């Protein structure tokens, strides 16, 4: 895709080196700050959405959060007072979005758990500072050498004392509902437990290379996914239990904090397996275990035969 800036061109006092990636709303560039000679990342809106009113507020929210938080797992944002147009300047991190790794297939279980724990540790810091990410996806988790992580994408984050950014319009613009919790899909703001739901979705995806749920509109119910052990029997019951607890439809049934979820993943031998009969009562026949599905179909087929026999008996009596 051609962008307005190409390698060798200049944006204010930044020399553009390459177009790194193109997302739904923005393009990421690698550049050099000619004042400091520092390598930076530049996030600039795409042509087709730059006039979207919510986009400017999203950029400002991301900049505000990036400037105030100081954690090695959160991408640094550099304040810029002189800009000819809307863009964001961040530290340059040598890594790739988790999305790129997932395109190659499932991750090794140890690696998937390690990355999930790292994400939980970053989220724990955010939540302790009154911030909920609200847009946690594999696109916003950068993975570097030795699985060093950076979290990005704070454009719709909720922050104590900050005005609420309506997520429904942005989710329609972005087109990603897979990682949203049921409460967010229903229009509620969500809290820290909504981020933990997204961790459950991402962990499921890392382990199976499949999503636990398809894209949903806000009016569809989201219950329980196909158990990940059906996709990969080598996933332990304890690891599956952690995923199920993170994906509970009701927030009160999930882990209470990111620290608790991280501990569960770090100490799987201590995880208690809960009885979950509702997992085999999902809302479509095709999701039922094959044996039960066949039995149910057979019973349904017998109903008219039984009724016919009863009618004959009544008629002859």
Is 227 a domain residue?
yes
| CATH code assigned at 243 | 1.10.510.10
Torsion of CA 165, 122, 181, 186, to 10 degrees: -20
Sign of CA dihedral 58, 60, 63, 68: negative
pLDDT at residue 56 tops 80: no
Same domain, residue pair 277 and 143: yes
Structure tokens at 38: 């520092």
Is 2 a domain residue?
no
Highest mean pLDDT among 81-90, 179-188, 255-264: 255-264
Least confident of 134-138, 148-152, 282-286: 282-286
Structure tokens at 161: 């004392």
Domain boundary among 35, 63, 91: 91
DSSP, residue by residue, 221-232: ----PPPHHHH-
Same domain, residue pair 205 and 259: yes
Least confident of 41-55, 76-90, 102-116, 266-280: 41-55
Number of independent structural domains in the chain = 3
SS3 14: strand
- Beta sheet of 141-144, edge-to-edge order: 95-97, 141-144, 149-151
Q: Residues 84-106: what's their mean pLDDT?
A: 94
**Could you give the CA distance from residue 160 to residue 131 in angstroms, rounded to a whole number?**
7
Same domain, residue pair 215 and 87: no
Quick one: pLDDT at residue 290? 47
Q: Who's near 242: CB < 8 A, 6+ residues apart?
A: 203, 261, 264, 265, 268, 271
Same domain, residue pair 145 and 276: yes
| CATH code assigned at 22 | 3.30.200.20
Is 1 a domain residue?
no
Structure tokens at 183: 């409460």
SS3 196: helix
Domain boundary among 91, 123, 146: 91
pLDDT at residue 178 tops 90: no
Domain span holding position 137: 95-283
Same domain, residue pair 43 and 78: yes
Quick one: pLDDT at residue 68? 84
Same domain, residue pair 205 and 150: yes
Contact in structure between 125 and 133 (CB atoms under 8 Å): no
Q: Do strands 26-33 and 14-22 pair parallel, antiparallel, or not at all (unpaired)? A: antiparallel
Structure tokens at 188: 């509620």
Contact in structure between 286 and 137 (CB atoms under 8 Å): no
Domain boundary among 91, 113, 128: 91
Same domain, residue pair 113 and 75: no
Structure tokens at 164: 């609420």
Burial environment of residue 308 by CB neighbours within 10 A (0 to 12, 13 to 18, 19 or more)? exposed
Catalytic member of 135, 191, 269, 283: 135
pTM of the predicted model, to two decimals?
A: 0.81
Comparing CA positions, the residue from 51, 34, 32, 50 lying closest to residue 42 is 32
Q: Who's near 108: CB < 8 A, 6+ residues apart?
A: none
Q: Please indicate whether residue 135 is annotated as part of the active site.
A: yes
Q: Do strands 88-91 and 77-78 pair parallel, antiparallel, or not at all (unpaired)? A: antiparallel
């Amino acid at each position: 895709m051609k962008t307005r800036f190409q390698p060798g061109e200049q944006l204010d006092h930044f020399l553009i080196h390459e177009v790194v990636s193109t997302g739904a709303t923005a393009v990421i560039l690698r550049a050099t700050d000619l004042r400091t000679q520092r390598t930076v990342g530049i996030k600039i809106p795409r042509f087709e959405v730059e006039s979207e009113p919510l986009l400017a507020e999203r950029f400002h929210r991301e900049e505000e959060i990036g400037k105030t938080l100081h954690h090695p797992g959160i991408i640094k944002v550099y304040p810029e007072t002189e800009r000819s147009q809307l863009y964001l300047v961040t530290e340059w991190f040598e890594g790739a979005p988790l999305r790129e790794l997932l395109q190659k297939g499932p991750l090794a279980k140890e690696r998937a758990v390690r990355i999930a724990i790292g994400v939980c540790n970053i989220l724990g810091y955010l939540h302790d500072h009154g911030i909920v990410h609200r847009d946690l996806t594999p696109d916003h988790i950068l993975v570097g050498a030795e699985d060093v992580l950076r979290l990005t994408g704070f454009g719709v984050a909720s922050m104590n004392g900050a005005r609420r950014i309506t997520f429904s319009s942005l989710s329609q613009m972005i087109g990603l509902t897979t990682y949203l919790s049921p409460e967010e899909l229903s229009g509620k703001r969500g809290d820290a437990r909504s981020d933990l739901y997204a961790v459950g979705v991402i962990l499921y995806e890392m382990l199976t290379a499949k999503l636990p749920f398809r894209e949903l509109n806000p009016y569809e119910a989201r219950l329980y996914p196909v158990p990940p052990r059906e996709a990969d029997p080598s996933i332990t019951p304890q690891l599956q239990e952690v995923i199920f607890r993170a994906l509970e439809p009701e927030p009160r049934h999930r882990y209470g904090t990111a620290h608790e979820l991280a501990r569960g993943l770090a100490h799987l031998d201590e995880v208690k397996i809960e009885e979950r009969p509702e997992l085999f009562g999902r809302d479509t026949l095709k999701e039922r275990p094959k044996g039960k599905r066949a039995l149910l179909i057979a019973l349904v087929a017998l109903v008219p035969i039984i009724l016919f026999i009863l009618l004959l008996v009544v008629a002859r009596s």
